[in-house]
Homo-oligomer: A and B are copies of this chain.
Amino acid sequence: MRFTSESTADGVTERRFTLDGVPGVLWLPAGSPTGSPADVAATPTGRPLVLLGHGGGQHKLAPGLVARAGRCATRYGFAVAAIDAPGHGERPRTAQDERFATEIGELLATGRPVSADVARHTAALAEQAVPEWQAVIDALRRLDAVGPDGPVGFWGLSLGTVIGVPLAAADPRITAGVFGLAGHDSLTEAARRVTVPVEFLVQWDDELVPREAALALFDAFPSGEKTLHANPGGHLELPDFEVTASELFLARHL
């Protein structure tokens, strides 16, 4: 993990990094990145780490992610990390990535659900992204400011869920997840292996995700503690209060 820049504002230190060609960003409460013994002592089991997965067409520094990272660092003292998903942000795009971006826009504009093609493409992105996230967790936990043993939460909707659910299924270090705005047969098998607490967000009128498909994905989690929040509106109309609630969910579980 190579850190390429560092800046501090509003109580949050942002450190950009690359790891094996994957560009990412780490946010920490200002003052903590030095990893001084006092700082680590304040979180003896390791600082909770929140991984933010962005949506399709977005990237690691999308405004919503940056705002969420700032709140998680300043309100709860979490370390927060985001990386660009394959084909997103600063990463190279294939012709297929370009087609995917166009198709998502068309589906949203015309109110049609995710096609089998899109589901296949995002599943392929997830297959690549899961080991990338795992390498990021490895590297971040070697930092004094994070520590080796803290809880890890994943927050990601839409494409963030397509990646986050198989990540949570594969990696027992993930101890809580916020997922949603997704639902497809291709996710069911991974969801059946996610046993940690889950908060699952559904938009009742999601153009991309049929209601039954979203409910079926929620149903598939065997987690004893899972909670579904549904609100009216389309894929891009998640109410702000749900974002706040989901941060409180992570604060409760990390």
Contacts and interface: CB of A to CB of B under 8 A. Distances in A.
A31 interface: no
A227 B230 contact: yes
A201 to B, nearest CB: 10
A161 to B, nearest CB: 17
Interface string A38-77: 0000000000000000000000000000000000000000
A218 B228 CA distance: 13
A224 interface: yes
Contact of A226 (B215, B228, B231): B231
Contacts of A252: 241
Q: A interface, by DSSP: helix, strand, loop or mixed?
A: mixed
B231 A227 contact: yes
A245 interface: yes
Contacts of A215: 215
Interface in A220-240: 223-232, 239
* Interface footprint category on A: 20 to 34
Contacts of A232: 223-226
B231 A229 contact: no
A35 to B, nearest CB: 34
Most buried by B among A230, A239, A252: A230
Q: Most chain-B Cβ atoms within 10 A of its Cβ — which of A223, A229, A252?
A: A229
A223 B241 CA distance: 17
A204 B232 CA distance: 19
The 8 closest A-B CB pairs, nearest first, are A228-B230, A227-B231, A229-B229, A226-B232, A227-B229, A224-B232, A228-B229, A227-B230
Given A226-B231, A228-B230, A229-B229, 5 more contacts: A202-B228, A223-B232, A226-B232, A227-B231, A228-B229
